[in-house]
A and B are shown apart, each in its own frame.
Chain A
Amino acid sequence: MSERRIGVYICHCGGNISDYVDVAEVRDAVADEPGVVHAETTMFACSDGAQHDMIQKIQDEHLDGLVVASCSPKLHLFTFRGVSKRAGLNPYQYTQVNIREQDSWAHGGDPVGATRKAIGLVRAGIAKTGASVPLDPIGVDTTARALVVGGGIAGLRAAIGLADLGLGVALVEREAQLGGWVARFGPMFPHERSGHDLIEDLVAEVRKRSSITVFTRAELVGKSGSFGNYSAELRVTSPDGGEPETVRTEVGAIVIATGFDTYQPEAGEYGYGIEGVLTLAEFKALVDTTPGPLHYKDRPVRTIAYIYCVGNRQEGGNAYCSKYCCSAAVHESIQVSDHDVSARQYHLYRDIRTYGRYELMYEESRKRGSVYMKFPDDTPPSVERGKDGKLLVTTVDALTGGERVSLEADLVVLVTGMVPRQNSSLTDLLKLPLGSDGFYNEIHPKLRPVETVVDGVMIAGACQGPKTSSESVASGLAAVTQCGGMLMRGTAELDPLVATVNAEACTACGECEEACPYGAIHRVTNGEGEVMTIDATACKGCGGCAPYCPEDAIDLLGNTDEQIRGMIDNLLEAGVA
């Protein structure tokens, strides 16, 4: 019989679970499991009140193990580890059982089956906690320095922000110049400050800070170590075309701010390729560089047609909305009218997405005479060569009852969005996950927008998804904050859920060393013989080494063979596995 004193909580999740899983039945089914001394259901296990009750129960009943059956450990692993810690219970003797994402939500149509599965999963969780031992987190000293990859506006602002926290910074830019896209821009919304000037200011601020080391013509090509203590390998090309130099730099965290590319239309897409059909980026460059009324190829531009959502919101193409392009195009139309009040501007759109304050620009643009025509999603406009070097744009205008309208324009602006920058070597190096849209994926799109699943690697700016310049800056600073939280205290705690070698059984055959993708296993002398040893700070606990060991000498703390076997047995018994 088990000597353990385990508490089990089964969460209703306000109906998310209990609408499908009979939580009371689950409780009754596990209440007499060996080692269980307390089992109860709770409306929201994560609520503060429930946490208080758990702490009270752990202390009153002297529990030495805790099982919470609720949602994904992604959500609440740390919540209940915290509860355990505050109650004086070793946090690694708590097991989170997912009966929501992996049960109630998946088997909504089969409440009986879902309940049976929940019983099996909870019993497995009890087995895991039942065989658990107290573990202590691994403390590491962190390096007070961060690496910023990308010297665009987000990366520059992040570098300054990091330096202002007292952290050292290595700023790596692939191009010869800092500044990225924004450096090429003239006036930008919302303050009509020139992008060029903004970047100049930022670069000057960077230069002022001796704690920032700038590497231009440089790329991140290697990374080793782990969170808090990464060693980054940079390849720096010399300006004179000589042999590239390799630089190693030690950092505690990495901010990726590699930016975006603009959508490049196919030849013929909305007439692209015909003279006078420009992308938004090309048009912005033209407006920024033309003093006075707009000219294109020495001809005055009096009529402009903008076609929105090019390369975005398209079935079969980029399904996403780039969100900045509406405001950017509307802003350019105001710029044009600044120099030529009588310029005729037609905006062919699907939805004008000038969200928040940008709505004021939309209003200003209309006030100045821009005409907005909504075309149906299934009937995009067409662009052809017209007479006298003009462009003939034909569209259906939903705002006038679906009338077919033909326009003669001097210029057609394809309002193109952002696309993810091709950076596969960096992506592979850092093992960064990509979203369905091809941009880097954050851990949680609502609450953790700049963190990634790779510890200590943040994403900022448009590499995470389309953004305006100000939004990129904000996310760059948010990444700074994240680094600050990790590095400013100088120490960090790592999970002790790592592999260990039973030195007595180890024959030092070295199979594990080869299997480890993190280089965490090394051979050491042990008295007369040799054994393998695992660096706990480098080990990720992936378990990849264990099956290679012919002597079965490797076990994974927190997921020991005994624990996993107990879980399987209980699942089999419940008829779930």
Chain B
Amino acid sequence: MKYDALVIGAGIGGMESSLKLGDMGYKVLLVEKEASVGGRMILLSKVFPTLDCASCISGPKMSSTINHPNITTVTYGEVKTIRRDGDGRFHATVRQKARYVDPAACTGCQECEQVCTVAVPDEFNSDLVARRAAHIPFPQAVPKKAVITREGTSSCTDTCPAGIKAHGYVSLIRSGKYEEAFQLVLDATPLVGSLGRACYAPCEAECTRGDLEAPLPIRRLKRFIAERHYATHDGPGVQPGEPNGKSVAIVGSGPAGLTAAWQLARKGYRVKILDSAPEPGGFLRQAIPVYRLPQEVVEQDIRNVTALGVEIVTDTRVDDLQALEREGYDAVLLATGTPKATSLGVPGEETTAVVSGLDFLRDVRFAEAPDLEGKRVVIVGGGNVAMDAARSARRLGAVDTLVAYRRGREEMPAHVAEIEDAAKEGVRFEFLVSPVTVVVDASGNVTGLRCTRMKLGEPDASGRRRPEPIPGSEFVIKCDLVIPAIGLVPDTGPFDSHVAVSRNRGIQVDPKTLQSEVPWLFAAGDVVSGASDITHAVGQGRRAAHMIDRWLNGGELDGFEALDDRLAAIDKAKVLSRQKSYTHRDPVKLDVSHVPAPRDFAEIEPVLTEAEAHFAAGGCLDCGVCSECGQCVATCPANAIDLSQHEQTFEVDVGAVVVSTGFKLFAADAKPEYGWGKYPNVITGMQMDRLLAPTRPFNTVLRPSDGKVPDRIAYISCTGSRDKTVGNPLCSKICCMYSVKQNQLIMGALPLADVTMHYIDVRAAGKRYDEFYEESKELGAAYIKGRVAKVTEKPDGNLILHYEDIENGGGLAEAEYDMVVLAVGVQPNREVERLFEGEPLGLDEFAYVAEPNDDLNPGQTSIPGVFVAGTASGAKDIVDSITHAGAAVAQVAAHLEKAAHTLRVLKEVAR
């Protein structure tokens, strides 16, 4: 794309530059980094010395700018780099950040704001109040289009193998939207209740709050919403999709199969699940003990699936997949998990007193387990099945339950909480031991397990150190029952002839599409990956459903956004750096009292109360800002919200560049003696302007600590200006005048208030400025010459100013105020430094854009064809910025005309 000029920054200087260039007939590309044009002026209350309402006079300029036929405006964009080409023109790369809202469709109705569950400080109100993640920047924004602040995927959501929007349901719970939270999880999987009990919650391990006190109890929050839902609803509250005439058979009813069935049924497929077990649910039923996951919870979850018309046929073993295809199923999904236990491979293993962990748990579940009263049990293995078996054995009365594991505790694959809970329930551990033989007495009863001690050698393929036997270290652990729980593998025997099997004995499929070499056959879950956990299986089930749907609709097997196309995870350090300090929040206590010798299978963990859930969710730091809760998507009447939008970059060729990147306000906390950021009633001039603006947050001037209407207000001029201690010897020019203006406005808004300005020189230098200053004195504003040394705070929030009173004898004095306003000055916006590639833009010693010839060519920079307009080259008030932009534009136009002339001459010569 070709433009005559690129204008960077749409504050008053950039808008004026663009409008004037546009009026002259040049084509302008205007790039603004915020979501609205207008810069700072639109945020002001009124302007000096006319007291015109800032939005009344800059609003029309904003509107003219984006409606100008010669101006193309990119808001929420960024100029990444500019390179000067050999012909004197410029090549710029421009980035359009994703708004996650289709600007063409958005009507600016703000309904998304109403339902958004994430609040962040409102930068357009100087952080005085909060705004939503989905928001219109400010009421007079141009264009008035919503934008959703997304800084990345929150760590909890990012880490979930099931692609469940953990941050989303936490923020919904925080907003009291429990059913919406349930529905958000349900959108991923029907197993909300089961996950709420039995998920190992990798989200909690990644929770940024964990770097403060403790992670949020995200899993238990999910259980809370599941229980709320099931207590009050009969079904899932979701309708099946319009039947599409296609059917899918799913073999296996574990988490992967159920999730895939749920997703496909919602898309209108007729789905049948076949399972060899007497009850559906797979390991949710057969492996996870009921003290962790009660059966009725699994049943509730499964009813979600059957409510959509999915047929589940149990006690049916499928050996012939082709038969299913012949029956007319359009696709078949294999999700049979890992039903086979790995054997120990030691002598004596064949006795009846050696039962695999999986069989043992299945027996427990179906009340077929042996009575272990007074028995000694050894469990071999260090995984979750081992823990479940050990804790179940305790409940069956075993006097001694020992877990024998060949590596150390650190290497145990079981979830840490499981290990800890097992220990609390009296399970003992023997580490670095490996079974050699099962010791059987003459009558065939097991009496012990002969083991050898191990040591850890070099790391193996899994990265864990390989255990090696220590010769001569054998010993016998006395026991009555041995439960090997050393691994689970898929049972692919029946399918070997149809489809390739990988080395781990799983079905071989493309890991992204889950499609096997037989196109209609997909496989998901542990039968592909080997033993994993529920969330992985759920994620695979979702993926399989998505891909089957794609395949059956003739589409490319891609576009699985839930897991494959998320924003990059946000950096936790960045999240934590948003606030200087965090109020400590006591984590919600886990009210579980572990009995050393539990004797029943009652559920041990209580559900969170509503108050606990609300408090816990309130600790969320909103890492990625937008939580992806989806409320805006569901609410937007224009269907304008699209969370899958991506940022775009495009290249432009321009004849000239105008840098109008504006200024930064002095960060008032760099003057700690004035207490900003520490004393709530010390605010900046910009904050006061917001309190006075027509779109003011509180509709009057209130002090932040207690909402009191202030009676005595002090201004401290030159905060951060004319001050070498903060590295800025320059005068900021605008602060005296905006203080004088605010004095007048405050006296109008709060007729009883006294306003005092502590100043060095009142620099009312400009047309009608001094008259304006004198008027403020006549209205009653007091001016005290002398610097303020420091501000201290009283317990009631009032502030004591310690200052020099030069004109009244020159002594040190103190005065008490309700509120202190720091007249903060101007600092350079250093973002310009990175703009130019190759040839850096000249800056002055204070890092403003340098104007080497501002006596004759104001606005000219060190690079031919690059001009500066407004405060990017130094402090200016509005009219100065307007004039400066006008001056820059005259030279931009001269530059363009000269270039056009040269081109004409060259063409002539060529002819």
A interface residue numbers (CB < 8 A to B): 13-16, 43-44, 46-49, 51-52, 71, 75-76, 78-79, 82, 86, 157, 161, 164-166, 188, 190-191, 193, 198, 201-202, 312-313, 319-321, 323, 326, 351-360, 363, 374, 376, 398-402, 435-437, 439, 444-450, 464-466, 469-471, 473-482, 484-486, 488-489
Contact = CB atoms under 8 A, between A and B. Distances in A.
B886 A470 contact: no
29 contacts: A44-B139, A46-B63, A47-B63, A49-B144, A75-B60, A76-B56, A78-B60, A82-B63, A190-B854, A191-B854, A191-B855, A320-B771, A321-B764, A323-B765, A351-B762, A399-B806, A435-B767, A436-B771, A444-B50, A444-B57, A449-B879, A466-B767, A470-B854, A474-B886, A477-B858, A484-B890, A486-B23, A488-B893, A489-B24
A470 B855 contact: yes
Contacts of A447: 57-58, 61, 878-879, 882
Contacts of A450: 883, 886
B731 A354 contact: yes
A445 B879 contact: yes
Given A52-B108, A470-B854, A484 B63 contact: no
Contacts of B888: 477
A481 B810 contact: no
Nearest to B38: A48
A353 B883 contact: no
Contacts of B883: 449-450, 471, 474-475, 478
A161 B60 contact: no
B856 A202 contact: yes
Q: Give the interface size bracket for B toward A.
A: 35 or more
Interface string B739-782: 00000000000000000000001111111111100100000000
A435 B766 CA distance: 14
A445 B768 contact: yes
Interface of B: 20, 23-25, 47, 49-50, 52-53, 55-64, 66-67, 107-108, 139-144, 694-695, 699, 722, 729-733, 761-771, 774, 785, 806-807, 809-810, 853-856, 858-859, 874-876, 878-880, 882-891, 893-894, 897-898
A82 B785 contact: no
Contacts of B763: 351, 353, 355
A449 B141 contact: no
B856 A355 contact: no
Nearest to A444: B57
Nearest to A72: B56
A47 B897 contact: no
Contact of B785 (A198, A374, A439): A374
Nearest to B892: A481
A323 B886 CA distance: 21
Given A446-B47, A449-B882, A470 B858 contact: yes
Contacts, number: 252
Given A14-B53, A78-B60, A480-B886, 17 more contacts: A47-B140, A49-B108, A51-B63, A161-B890, A164-B894, A312-B770, A321-B766, A323-B769, A357-B874, A360-B729, A399-B810, A437-B768, A445-B768, A474-B858, A474-B859, A474-B886, A484-B890
Nearest to A490: B25
Contact of B59 (A46, A188, A321, A488): A46
A481 B893 contact: yes
B894 A481 contact: no
Contact of A190 (B55, B58, B66, B855): B855
A48 B142 contact: yes
Contacts of B731: 354-359
A157 B766 CA distance: 22
Contact of B767 (A44, A313, A398, A445): A445
8 nearest A-B pairs in the assembled complex, by CB-CB distance: A478-B886, A14-B694, A49-B144, A485-B23, A164-B894, A477-B887, A323-B765, A321-B770
Contact of B66 (A48, A71, A360, A446): A48
Contacts of A359: 722, 729-731
Contact of B20 (A312, A399, A473, A481): A481
Most chain B CB within a 10 A radius of its CB, from A78, A436, A449, A489: A449
A58 to B, nearest CB: 15
Contacts of B890: 161, 164-165, 477-478, 480-481, 484
A447 B50 CA distance: 11
A12 B233 CA distance: 46
A398 B785 contact: yes
Nearest to A166: B897
A14 B55 contact: yes
Contacts of A326: 765
Contacts of A321: 764-766, 769-770
B771 A478 contact: no
Contacts of B107: 49, 52
Given A48-B143, A157-B856, A399-B806, A79 B887 contact: no
B776 to A, nearest CB: 14
B56 A489 contact: no
A188 B107 CA distance: 55
Nearest to A309: B770
Contacts of B732: 356
A76 B108 contact: no
Given A157-B856, A320-B771, A485-B24, A76 B60 contact: yes
A14 B695 contact: yes
Contacts of B63: 46-48, 51, 79, 82
Contacts of B52: 446
Contacts of B893: 164-165, 481, 484, 488
A292 B612 CA distance: 84
A16 B768 contact: no
B832 to A, nearest CB: 18
Contacts of B884: 474, 478
Given A473-B856, A473-B858, A478 B887 contact: yes
Contacts of A448: 882
B728 to A, nearest CB: 10
A264 B721 CA distance: 35
Contacts of A402: 807, 809-810
B886 A482 contact: yes
B694 A319 contact: no
A191 B859 CA distance: 15
B898 A164 contact: yes
B262 to A, nearest CB: 41
Given A166-B897, A399-B806, A477 B733 contact: no
B730 A356 contact: yes
Nearest to A80: B60
A465 B733 contact: no
A449 B767 CA distance: 10
A260 B47 CA distance: 27
Most chain A CB within a 10 A radius of its CB, from B49, B50, B854, B874: B854
B55 A481 contact: no
Given A44-B55, A75-B57, A356 B879 contact: no
Contacts of A161: 890-891, 894
B24 A484 contact: yes
Contacts of A401: 809-810
B855 A48 contact: no
Contact of B140 (A44, A400, A475): A44
A198 B140 contact: no
Contact of A478 (B24, B60, B761, B882): B882
A538 B108 CA distance: 44
B803 to A, nearest CB: 15
A477 B785 contact: no
Nearest to A315: B774
Contacts of A485: 20, 23-24
A439 B767 CA distance: 10
Contacts of B695: 14
Nearest to B61: A447
Contacts of B60: 46, 75-76, 78-79
A323 to B, nearest CB: 4
A376 B761 CA distance: 13
Most chain A CB within a 10 A radius of its CB, from B49, B63, B695, B767: B767
